[in-house]
């Protein structure tokens, strides 16, 4: 069974091809900086064919066209025709309370993706675009949806998921904290338990997914207990690429009443003009911010300070909420590749038992391996674990097609001894 994954993020589209059973990766790649200029396509296959090139990519539709071309290209592709693909697995950000585990995509699922786009305007519309394009080209194969909200929405307890507003707003409108980036947090939490040599039900940890979108999840005995991002993908939690994170709810009202802004203008500011972009004055890529700060740019340095303080604050808060932790995990683009962010996030947390090995941390850059960056005597382990959302999607899709999917009891290949991360096979 050949499975294609499509993962349409806010500024990137990831893809991969897999052969099942056995979760054998055939190729993987990403189109980055979609709609931002200076877009790039990176493609790798198991045959050691690779591409890394600048591309013209004004929107997600162009990115998906590029992907279909590269996977069928006579030189770099791994299938001769898209008809060889038997299943397409899609990452979808928001499924509300209606969808809390992976499913076959039908008209009801399409409707839910569109319905919940109001809560994930940077993601659900792009997810839906990817689904429609893939269904148009491959109409006769099953398509599955793996929901980014599912991991947290399914398992967070009521007292951590409800807001202190009149209960009717939850009962009538579903206003609650859902949590996001669950595919990533699910993967790294299970990998961390394996690295600790313990069952997932025995482990408390804090997982930090830091990228253009950023979230932190508190995992208690293997299950999500709390998450930094709540009802929407914008106004809670960590500082993100263009989104604000934690914000006094009166601020948007103040903008409307006193800055003479429309609702749409405020939404645009909070979703697309805030975060590190708004603070720094135009940077989104953290490498650019670090470089500018090292050159004396005070706004860039302030941006770095604000972002990393927020990371550190959430680690401390969630360590208290969990009553102690076994590990802290960094993942995603910034979490995997920025030693400075990891260092500043763990700064002065010795009292929690977190001690970073500076030398190992500084050397842990890129998708080279899973790395323990804590000192030998650190009571809390600190891991860098490259995430693999696509593998979660593939395993879910195969299990659904083969009618063996059980979201509560399903065991993934990456929880087993001897598992080799897919990125090490290229």
Domains contained in the chain, CATH given:
2-147+389-425 (3.30.420.40), 198-384 (3.30.420.40)
pLDDT tens digits along 332-383: 999 999 999 999 999 999 999 999 999 999 999 876 689 999 999 999 999 9
pLDDT given at position 367: 64
Spatial separation of the C-alpha atoms in residues 346 and 342, rounded to whole Å: 6
pLDDT given at position 75: 79
Residue segments in the chain with a per-residue pLDDT below the cut of 70:
367-368, 426
Among this protein's residues, is 148 annotated catalytic? yes
Q: Which of 148, 326, 372, 396 is catalytic?
A: 148
pLDDT given at position 426: 67
Residue 99 falls in which region: left (phi positive, over 0), alpha (psi -120 to 50) or beta: beta
* Inter-CA distances, 396 with 14, 96, 182, 405, Å: 17, 19, 13, 7
* CB 124 within 8 Å of CB 93: yes
For 81-124, list the strands marked E by DSSP: 87-92, 103-104
pLDDT given at position 277: 97
b/e code 150-189 from CB counts within 10 Å (16+ = b)? bbbbbbbeeebbeeeeeeeebeeeebbbbbbbbbbbbbbb
């Amino acid at each position: 069974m050949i499975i294609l994954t499509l993962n349409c993020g806010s500024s990137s589209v990831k893809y991969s091809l897999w052969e099942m059973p056995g979760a054998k990766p055939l190729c993987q790649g990403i189109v980055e900086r979609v709609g931002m200029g200076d877009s790039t396509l990176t493609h790798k296959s198991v045959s050691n064919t690779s591409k890394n090139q600048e591309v013209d990519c004004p929107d997600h539709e162009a990115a998906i066209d590029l992907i279909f071309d590269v996977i069928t290209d006579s030189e770099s592709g791994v299938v001769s025709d898209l008809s060889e693909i038997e299943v397409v697995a899609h990452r979808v950000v928001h499924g509300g309370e209606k969808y809390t585990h992976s499913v076959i995509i039908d008209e009801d699922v399409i409707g839910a993706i569109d319905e919940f786009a109001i809560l994930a305007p940077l993601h659900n519309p792009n997810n839906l675009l990817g689904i429609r394009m893939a269904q148009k080209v491959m109409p006769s194969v099953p398509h599955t949806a793996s929901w980014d909200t599912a991991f947290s929405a399914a398992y967070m307890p009521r007292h951590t998921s409800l807001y202190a507003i009149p209960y009717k707003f939850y009962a009538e409108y579903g206003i609650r904290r859902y949590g996001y980036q669950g595919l990533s947090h699910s993967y790294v939490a299970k990998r961390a338990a394996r690295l600790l040599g313990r069952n997932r039900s025995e482990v408390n940890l804090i997982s930090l997914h830091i990228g253009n979108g950023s979230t932190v999840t508190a995992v208690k005995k293997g299950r999500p207990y709390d998450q930094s991002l709540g009802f929407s993908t914008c106004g809670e939690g960590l500082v993100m690429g263009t989104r604000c994170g934690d914000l006094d709810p009166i601020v948007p009202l103040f903008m409307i009443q006193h800055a003479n802004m429309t609702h749409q203008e405020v939404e645009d500011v909070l979703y697309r003009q805030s975060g590190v972009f708004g603070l720094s004055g135009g940077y989104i890529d953290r490498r650019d911010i670090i470089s500018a700060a090292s050159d004396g740019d005070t706004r860039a340095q302030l941006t770095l300070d604000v972002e990393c303080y927020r990371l550190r604050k959430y680690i401390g808060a969630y360590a208290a909420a969990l009553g102690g932790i076994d590990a802290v995990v960094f993942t995603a683009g910034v979490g995997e590749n920025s030693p400075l962010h990891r260092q500043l996030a763990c700064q002065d947390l010795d009292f929690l038992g977190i001690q970073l090995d500076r030398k190992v941390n500084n050397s842990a850059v890129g998708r080279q391996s899973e790395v323990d960056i804590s000192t030998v005597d650190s009571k809390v382990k600190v891991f860098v674990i490259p995430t693999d959302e696509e593998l979660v999607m593939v395993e879910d899709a195969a299990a659904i097609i083969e009618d063996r999917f059980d979201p509560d009891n399903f065991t993934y290949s990456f929880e087993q001894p001897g598992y080799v991360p897919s990125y090490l096979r290229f």
